[in-house]
Amino acid sequence: MTGDQAPKYSDDIADLRHVMVNRILAGVTLLAAIGAPISILRVFFTGWLPLYAVHGVIAVFVILLWLLRKRVAYRVKLIIILILFWIIGVAGLFTLGLVGAGAWWLVTSALLVEVLYGKRSGYLAMSAVAAVVLVFAILFVSGLLQLSVDTNLFSQQAAAWATFAVGAVLQPLIVFSAVGALQGRIVQLNKRVIAQAEEIQLLADTDELTKLPRRHVAYDRLEQALRIVAREKNIVAVLFFDLNGFKNINDAYGHATGDRILQATADRARSCLRASDTIARIGGDEFLVILPGVGSVDDATLTANKLVAAISAPVGSEESELTVGASIGIALAPEHGMRAEDLVNAADHAMYAAKKAGNNQIRVAESTPN
C-alpha cells in the first residue's frame, strides 16, 4: 500500500462514522419529536415529574442540533448524542427505576461506543453503565430512593406504554439500523480495499510494458515446476534469451520504438507457448521461458526454434520495418540442476554461447559433471 493511500482509507473510515452519527442523530430527532410529547402526556396520570422537563428540553435541543448538523463536527455530535443518552438514562433510572426504559438508553450508548471505537472502548462504556445501574439498584433496594408513581397505575396507562415502546423498541431499532448500514458500508469499503490490494499486487507481479510476469513470479513458478519434477520424474526446460540488435534500434529510433519491439516480442513469444508455459521479462531485453513437462531436449529445442522464427520477423510498417534476432540458451532439470537459480544461470551461460555463435542461434547448457 502506498503512503498516499493509507490516509485515504482513514478518511473513508471517518466518513463512515460521520454517516452513521448523522443517521443516529436523525433517528434521535424523530424520537424527540414523537417521544417527548408522549412522555409529557403522562403528567395527567402521574402528576408533574422532573423527568418530563428533561425530556422536553432534550427534544428542543436535539431538533436544534439536527437543524445545525452541517455546521457541527461529527465527533462533537457523537459526544452530544452520548451525553443525551446518559441524561435520559440516568433521569429515567432516578425517576422510574426498573419501570422506565432508562437502562436501555445507557446500554445503547455503550453499543455505539463499541461499534465506532472498538471493543476496549465498548467494554469501558459498558462497565460504566453496569456501575451506574448497580448504584441505582442499591439505592432502591436500601430504600434511599423510592418511585414517585404508583407502578400499577403507571402500567395501566397507554401513554406509559407508548413511551416505553419509543424508548425500549423504536430507539434501539433506529440505532441497530444505523449499525447495520455502517456494517454494509464497511463491507463495501473492504471489497474496494481488497480490489485495490489485488491491483497493487498485479502491478508488482507484472511488467507494465509487456504485461508479462516479472522475475520473482517466474522464479516462483519454476520452483513449483521443480517440485513436480522431483515427484513425477519429468523434465522442465528453462529458456533464456535476449534480443540481438535491440540496443542499436533503441538508440537510433528512440525508446518508443524500442518499447514497441519489446511488446511485439512478448506477444509473439506468447503465441509460441502452451497455456502451461511461462514467459517473463526479467530486465531490459532479457526474457525467461519455463517449459514444464517437456519430453526431451528436442522438444525444448523445437520451441526455441519457434521463438527465434517468430521474434526475428520484421516489426512495423512496410516503409519502416525493423528486425531483431534472438539468442537462446536452454537448461534442463534435472540434468543441469534442481535449483531455480542454477538452471537460470546455466541457461544464461548457454545464451551467451549462442550469441557468440552468431545471430538467431540456440545452445543447450553443458551437462553438470557427476
pLDDT tens, position by position, 263-276? 999 999 999 999 99
Q: Is 285 one of the catalytic residues?
A: yes
What does the pLDDT look like over 205-243, one tens digit per residue? 888 899 999 999 999 999 999 988 877 778 999 999 999
What's the rounded mean pLDDT across residues 38-63? 76
Q: Which of 207, 242, 277, 285 is catalytic?
A: 285
Provide CB contacts within 8 A for 343, sequence distance 6+. 222, 226, 236, 238, 331, 332, 333, 336, 337
* Pick from 336, 316, 243, 333: nearest CA to 282: 243
φ, ψ for residue 325, nearest 5 deg: -115, 180
pLDDT range class, residue 32, cuts 50, 70, 90: confident
Q: Which residue has the higher pLDDT, 190 or 59?
A: 59
Q: What pLDDT is attached to residue 46? A: 67
pTM: 0.54
pLDDT range class, residue 319, cuts 50, 70, 90: low
- In this structure, what DSSP letter does residue 330 have? E
pLDDT range class, residue 45, cuts 50, 70, 90: low
pLDDT at 13 over 80: no
pLDDT at 316 over 60: yes
pLDDT at 6 over 50: no
What does the pLDDT look like over 98-119, one tens digit per residue? 877 788 889 888 888 887 778 8
